[in-house]
Amino acid sequence: MAVDTMPKVQATEPNPQGYRTFSLGEFTFSRDEYFVHIKWPTGRHVMSADAFLRALQRDVAWGFFYGIVNFDGVVGTVNHYGTVDLFAGRYNDSYRKAELDHVENFPSDVILATFKGILDDWTNASFDPFASPHETGSAFGPKQGDNRKATGRRRVTAQRMVGVPGDEALRSDATGHPINRHFTDVPQDEPQIIAEPGFEGQVCSFNLFAYLSRSDVTWNPSVVSACKASLYCPTTEEYILPVIHGNDRVEWFVQLSDEIFWSVEDRDTGAVRAKVVMKPGDVAAMPADIRHQGYSPKRAMLLVWENASPDIPGLIASGKLPNTPVSF
């Protein structure tokens, strides 16, 4: 007899607009033509359906990411790498003071199955949650088909480096990755390799700018090279980062092109800490105790450099590592 190991997803029949209502613990998620409604025992919250789906898409595709993924100032998830907290108001000073915040912990596969179910049911054929607003149709209206091609995209995660034989492939017109409208000026030539005798076939290189110019998604760091826990995760950014990311470690940003505005807040209360403008060549180390959201007026290339070591959150929480990698 086959054993069903898939976590159960609790969902109702479709409502009059065609969307199912999902429950997870004491949370319920429902949507209508424009909005998502989230309820928990001490409160309720409304988000625009497009913003919610953009945030949900990233939380799902990134496996809950590093630390906290705030969908907005009220709801989000905390990754405990095996289990995940789903919270409302937990990182919002006003909700905390009014004691209206609510947190529930779930095995990662249980919350992932529910989130995937919501994303699948609520994304209409016209909407690509990863695309820039200019490059997608509408998220709104009654239920109309699905967009599994977009919501089920495979995430690029190089084991060594893009372009290494057997690893992630380069992008081209032939692989279905045309040059983006904002990057038509990016040279497409690949580096020439002149290997020392005996090392032929062992040296690899690729044009990262050409690779990024052909990205069809926004705000989606992908691993293009890995050296132990050191991951280069460049991404192309346009419009607004759909989540407010609460760090559990330091992240380095290298602005490779164009300009991004960052809003930086205290991770736990949401109090404003800094406004940062990053121009090409700028480098920033985002501290481990902040949350941040980026705004990119034109498609920009950003290198996010992560240290994926599982030891880091514990070392920071116990004070053995500082929140900032450099002090001036």
Residue 219 found at the interface with ligand PHB (CB under 6 A): yes
Number of residues in contact with ligand PHB under rule CB under 6 A: 10
> How do strand 290-307 and strand 43-48 relate by DSSP bridges?
unpaired
Provide, rounded to whole angstroms, the least separation between the CB of residue 247 and Fe ion.
6
Q: Where are the beta strands (DSSP E) in the chain?
A: 10-11, 22-24, 27-31, 35-40, 43-48, 68-70, 75-79, 83-88, 102-107, 225-227, 230-240, 244-246, 251-255, 260-266, 272-278, 283-286, 290-307
Residue 245 found at the interface with Fe ion (CB under 5 A): yes
Residue 90 found at the interface with Fe ion (CB under 5 A): no
Given the rule CB under 6 A, which of 42-50, 118-126, 206-214, 217-225 is the region that contacts ligand PHB? 217-225
Provide, rounded to whole angstroms, the least separation between the CB of residue 294 and Fe ion.
9
Q: Tell me whether residue 213 or residue 235 sits nearer to ligand PHB (CB atom).
A: 235
Residue 132 found at the interface with ligand PHB (CB under 6 A): no
- Can you say whether residue 222 is alpha, beta or left, with left for phi > 0 and alpha for psi between -120 and 50 degrees? beta
The residue whose Cβ lies closest to Fe ion is: 245
In contact, 255 and 56? CB cutoff 8 Å: no
Q: Alpha-carbon distance 286 to 52, whole Å?
A: 25
Residue 168 found at the interface with ligand PHB (CB under 6 A): no
- Placement of tokens 């990662």 in the chain: 108
CB atoms within 10 A of CB 64: 23
237, 238, 258, 265: residue in contact with ligand PHB (rule CB under 6 A): 237
Residue 245 found at the interface with ligand PHB (CB under 6 A): yes
Provide, rounded to whole angstroms, the least separation between the CB of residue 175 and ligand PHB.
21
Structure tokens of 68?
């906290």
Residue 242 found at the interface with ligand PHB (CB under 6 A): no
User: Which residues of this chain interact with ligand PHB, rule CB under 6 A?
Assistant: 219-221, 235, 237, 241, 245, 251, 302, 304
